[in-house]
Amino acid sequence: MPAFTIFVEGADTEPAKIPVCVVDGEKYASRICEGMKETEYAAFNFSFELWTKSDLGKAPAWVVMIEDAQNGVYGEIVAGICNLAERMYLFMGGRRRREKTASGEDTVSDNDNSTTAKQDDETADDNGQPPVARTLGAGGEPSGAASTDFRSMWWGGNLYSFTVNQAPVMRLLYENWKAGTPDVGDETLLLAVDPEAPPARLSTLFRDHCAWGTLIVPGGSKGSHRLAEPDT
């Protein structure tokens, strides 16, 4: 399904046009832009653009800008818009782009008392680790790249997004793949999420996420996983 970037203008930022969200499908992008007219952000201008092959060079910058926007780099207003756009997208989809990204967070968050609800708590702090260098494919697009906090990854020409509790798992998998030791034990991966109260299973943490079984695959030994090799 084609990806679309949603932009906001008129929020007194530099640059004036800020990407705030990436969604799969024009209907989601259109509905979010229309829905913003009924919110406290109605005074701002919202638009969306289809990602084309020519945009692949811009994509890493857009991803970083979206994360900066979410973290308040462009001000509280833009951060609020990012948060609202993301929540609108998750609410509308059922299997939305979070089929390809983070659908598990909505699925499990209804039960506030469950361990899985804790796994997808979007208010948790980011890890704050240094940026990861990008690896470019033959066509100039990232074949294996991650954002600073591993909330998003380019892999084999596909862009994936992850919740705050999925990100530590992706960090470990990526770092071990890069070191040439790709297999990581499930217990180690789960402890990276929360050493005191780790999730019960990786399959629960990545429920309904298209990275499960495609990007994240079983390792060479029982009870381990690794990253699939990216297509270059």
Asked whether the predicted pLDDT for residue 222 surpasses 60, the reply is yes
pLDDT band at 190 (very low <50, low <70, confident <90, very high): very high
Phi/psi of residue 21, nearest 5 degrees: -165, 150
Token couple for 7 = 């932009």
Strands (E), the chain: 3-9, 17-24, 45-50, 135-136, 142-146, 152-155, 158-161, 184-185, 216-218, 224-227
Does the pTM surpass 0.75? The reply is no
Reference 184, options 202, 204, 160; nearest CA is 202
Asked whether the predicted pLDDT for residue 117 surpasses 70, the reply is no
200: number of Cβ within 10 Å: 13
pLDDT in tens, 15-62: 788 998 888 888 888 989 999 888 888 899 999 988 776 666 677 788
pLDDT, residue 56, reads 65
Computed over every residue of the chain, the mean pLDDT equals 75
* Residue in the block written with tokens 């530099």: 14
Residues 159/153, Cβ–Cβ less than 8 Å: yes
104 Cβ neighbours under 8 A, 6+ residues apart: 98, 116, 119, 120, 163, 166, 204, 205, 206, 207, 208, 209
Find the mean pLDDT for residues 76-93. Answer: 83
pLDDT, residue 22, reads 84
Find the mean pLDDT for residues 193-200. Answer: 90
Asked whether the predicted pLDDT for residue 90 surpasses 90, the reply is no
pLDDT, residue 83, reads 85
pLDDT, residue 3, reads 78
123 vs 83, residue with greater confidence? 83
Highest mean pLDDT among 11-15, 90-94, 132-136, 157-161: 157-161
Task: Kindly state the helix (H) or strand (E) to which residue 60 belongs, with its residue range.
Answer: helix 59-70
pLDDT, residue 231, reads 67
Token couple for 122 = 């979007």
88 vs 118, residue with greater confidence? 88
Find the mean pLDDT for residues 124-153. Answer: 53
Reference 1, options 34, 26, 31, 32; nearest CA is 26
Find the mean pLDDT for residues 176-182. Answer: 91
- Which of the 8 DSSP states describes residue 1? -
pLDDT, residue 45, reads 92
Asked whether the predicted pLDDT for residue 107 surpasses 60, the reply is no
152 vs 126, residue with greater confidence? 152
